[in-house]
């Protein structure tokens, strides 16, 4: 059985590349279907976020960056 794209993204921390999702056994058509259904958001070319992704992380990936240590710590509740 093919894993759910949203479940795969959640298991990868809430944000994942298309390549990582496909490597987990999800079909490309299922990723597109999950985006159309609102289960995932395409935040950048080949980058997807689930509803559990922090706003800071989504913003960082959208502009091609990553969270710095202070922002990452805050997103983990530290």
The 10s digit of each residue's pLDDT in 14-44 is 999 999 999 999 999 999 999 999 999 999 9
Report whether 50 contacts 39 (CB < 8 A): yes
For the entire predicted model, the pTM comes to 0.86
Which pLDDT score is estimated for 24?
Answer: 96
- Using the predicted structure, report yes or no on whether residue 68 has a pLDDT greater than 90: no
pLDDT value, residue 70: 77
């Amino acid at each position: 059985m093919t894993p759910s794209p949203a479940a795969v993204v959640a298991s990868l921390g809430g944000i994942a590349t298309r390549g990582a999702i496909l490597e987990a056994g999800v079909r490309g058509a299922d990723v597109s279907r999950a985006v159309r259904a609102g289960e995932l958001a395409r935040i950048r070319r080949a980058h997807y976020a689930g509803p559990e992704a922090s706003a800071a992380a989504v913003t960082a990936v959208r502009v091609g960056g990553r969270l710095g240590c202070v922002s990452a710590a805050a997103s983990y509740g530290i």
